[in-house]
């Protein structure tokens, strides 16, 4: 399977099964598009356009790649070699929040349940389970999430200390991450987070009016002015450690590239602004009719990205334009998907396990708890058998080894079927991959 | 080649017998977790 695409003056052919990316010229693009080089009549037309000799030369190059298994590589029968072991956790430290963002998937923080905070005892048991269940895996991931996790910061500090105490004894390495809305981010917390968290997600949507329309305080005021200085201070002290200024765009700001620009201009240099996932009846939801507009917006953002690159003061990273062509994960990892319910679980303040944070509150998806571990094999098995090649739409898709099948929760929420991916998400993901490859090629 | 330039040096199919350790970062793709797609992750065993 191959995918040929062009953005402005950039032409590319991607070989899905080998993962090889070929930058091509317009002649090769015309020859590969719709497999034209295989049709005598189409080759005649192309020869007429470019000249016979040059067309022949291009076809020879195409055939050389095919003969060397670099183009039209055959489908692989990838049997899952990675043994399932829970090695990553999302700890919902607070089912409570000090903002009430309109698009919040967690129902303004409480996940449709009562407001609560995770106790140290529950978190400790979760860590013990993680160490045990991860077997020989060394790297463990713990994401402090919510609601707003800073509402339970003392417990987070105690849990980090507990996690560190387990590392040497069990030959484990904890990577702690945290997501925050910034309201409670003071000097002490900034210093602690910078010292202890390997990655931090700072939630902000972009321009003030865009942010304030969706991200409101409990008094219905915009949150931008409350958080912006906290975030700026955080970034100034972060050094070269990872973080993201992370926003959500909705149908209200289809020109989201302007929000990325704004975030860059006010001092954030690692940015992720993402499409909202919402029921179609919500006014702010992204729908099929928005897809083409959004694709153009990604192209516009890619241009801004490339134009900003030569100036070190303007250069920034846009998370979804990062792509690893040589140092990325192996084919096994790319096949099995996100690992929800098999490698990754979400833990509620009460100690219940869910396949991931997106399912929290949907009681039928409880798969276990901190005392008994995973007990609901029936639900877990549904998450185990959703590798990218087991999904009919994905199996035929050129992007399958870049996205590994998309978000299970989105598939379930939109289509009630783990094997049918969420269309808007897929279309935007594909465009982001194309833009990433173009950027990689242009900046090499 | 004149018309084609290949960007990567490795194929997904290279050395697959020694791959699959499972040490890499989980790749949650939900938007609220920054939609980490496997395409932008790194292999822990490089």
Interface confidence, given as ipTM, is 0.89
Name every chain B residue with its beta carbon within 8 A of the beta carbon of A133: none
Q: What are phi and psi of A23, to 5 degrees?
A: -85, 125
φ/ψ (deg, to 5) at B3: -100, -15
CA of A204 to nearest chain B CA: how many angstroms apart?
Answer: 12
Tell me the C-alpha distance between B46 and A336, whole Å: 20
Spatial distance between the Cα atoms of B21 and A387, rounded to a whole number of angstroms: 17
DSSP state string for A145-165: EES-GGGGHHHHHHHHHHHHH
Q: Is A247 on the interface with B (CB under 8 A)?
A: no
With the C-alpha atoms ordered A423, A424, A427, A429, is the resulting torsion angle positive or negative? negative
- Quick one: CA dihedral A71, A72, A74, A80, positive or negative? positive
Chain A residues closer than 8 Å to B17 by CB = none
CA distance A185 to A231: 8
pTM: 0.94
Q: Do B28 and A22 touch (CB under 8 A)?
A: no
Going by C-alpha positions, the residue among B35, B38, B17 that lies closest to residue A407 is B35
Contacts made by residues A2-7, CB under 8 angstroms, sequence distance 24+:
A2/A32, A2/A71, A2/A72, A2/A398, A3/A398, A3/A399, A4/A29, A4/A32, A4/A33, A5/A434, A7/A299, A7/A302, A7/A434, A7/A435, A7/A438
Coil, strand or helix: which one is A280? Answer: coil
Contacts of B35 in chain A (CB under 8 A): 272, 274, 320, 407, 429
What does each of the 444 residues of chain A score in pLDDT, given as a tens digit?
A: 999 999 999 999 999 999 999 999 999 999 999 999 999 999 999 999 999 999 999 999 999 999 999 999 998 877 777 777 899 999 999 999 999 999 988 777 778 888 999 999 999 999 999 999 999 999 999 999 999 999 999 999 999 999 999 999 999 999 999 999 999 999 999 999 999 999 999 999 999 999 999 999 999 999 999 999 999 999 999 999 999 999 999 999 999 999 999 999 999 999 999 999 999 999 999 999 999 999 999 999 999 999 999 999 999 999 999 998 888 888 888 888 888 999 999 999 999 999 999 999 999 999 999 999 999 999 999 998 888 999 999 999 999 999 989 999 999 999 999 999 999 999 999 999 999 999 999 998
Decide if A322 and B40 are in contact by the 8 Å CB cutoff: yes
Distance from CA of A121 to the nearest CA of B (A): 25
Residue numbers of A between 60 and 119 with CB closer than 8 Å to B: 61-62, 64-65, 69-70, 73, 76, 81-83, 85, 87-88, 90, 105
Q: What pLDDT is recorded for position A77?
A: 78
Confidence of residue B30 (pLDDT cuts 50, 70, 90): low
* B18 in A contact zone (CB under 8 Å): no
Contact yes or no for B42 and A81 at CB 8 A: no
- What is the pLDDT, as a whole number, of residue A239? 94
């Amino acid at each position: 399977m191959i995918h040929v695409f062009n953005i402005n003056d950039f032409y590319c052919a991607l070989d899905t099964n080998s993962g090889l990316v070929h930058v091509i010229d317009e002649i090769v693009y015309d020859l590969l598009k719709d497999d034209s080089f295989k049709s005598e009549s189409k080759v005649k037309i192309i020869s007429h356009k470019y000249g016979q000799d040059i067309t022949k030369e291009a076809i020879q190059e195409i055939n050389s790649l095919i003969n060397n298994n670099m183009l039209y590589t055959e489908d692989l029968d990838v049997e899952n070699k990675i043994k399932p072991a829970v090695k990553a956790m999302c700890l919902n430290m607070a089912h409570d929040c000090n903002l009430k963002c309109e698009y919040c998937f967690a129902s303004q923080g409480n996940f449709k349940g009562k407001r609560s905070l995770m106790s140290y005892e529950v978190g400790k048991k979760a860590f013990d389970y993680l160490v045990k269940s991860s077997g020989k895996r060394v790297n463990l991931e713990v994401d402090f999430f919510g609601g707003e996790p800073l509402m339970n910061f003392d417990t987070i500090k105690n849990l980090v200390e507990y996690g560190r105490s387990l590392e040497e004894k069990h030959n484990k390495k904890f990577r702690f991450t945290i997501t925050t809305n910034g309201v409670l981010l003071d000097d002490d917390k900034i210093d602690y987070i910078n010292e202890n968290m390997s990655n931090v997600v700072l939630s902000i949507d972009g321009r003030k009016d865009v942010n304030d329309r969706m991200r409101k305080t409990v008094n219905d005021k915009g949150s931008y002015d409350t958080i912006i200085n906290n975030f700026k201070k955080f970034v100034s002290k972060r050094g070269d450690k990872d973080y993201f200024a992370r926003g959500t765009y909705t149908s209200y700001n289809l020109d989201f590239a302007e929000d990325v620009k704004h975030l860059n201009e006010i001092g954030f240099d690692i940015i992720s602004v993402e499409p909202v996932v919402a029921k179609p009846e919500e006014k702010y939801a992204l729908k099929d009719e928005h897809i083409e507009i959004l694709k153009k917006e990604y192209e516009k953002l890619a241009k801004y990205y490339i134009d900003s690159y030569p100036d070190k003061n303007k250069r920034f990273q846009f998370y979804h334009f990062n792509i690893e062509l040589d140092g990325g994960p192996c084919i096994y990892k790319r096949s099995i998907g996100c690992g929800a319910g098999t490698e990754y679980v979400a833990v509620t303040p009460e100690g219940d396990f869910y396949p991931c944070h997106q399912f929290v509150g949907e009681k039928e998806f409880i798969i276990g708890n901190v005392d008994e571990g995973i007990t609901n094999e029936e639900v877990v098995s549904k998450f185990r058998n959703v590798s990218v090649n087991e999904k009919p739409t994905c199996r035929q898709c050129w992007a399958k080894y870049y996205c590994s099948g998309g978000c299970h929760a989105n598939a379930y929420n939109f289509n009630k079927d783990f094997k049918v991916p969420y269309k808007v998400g897929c279309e935007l993901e594909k465009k982001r991959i194309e833009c990433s490859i173009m950027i990689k090629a242009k900046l090499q | 080649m004149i018309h084609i330039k290949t960007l990567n040096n490795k194929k997904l199919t290279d050395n697959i017998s020694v791959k699959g350790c499972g040490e890499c970062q989980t790749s949650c793709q939900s938007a609220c977790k920054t939609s980490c797609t496997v395409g932008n992750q790194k292999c822990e065993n490089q």
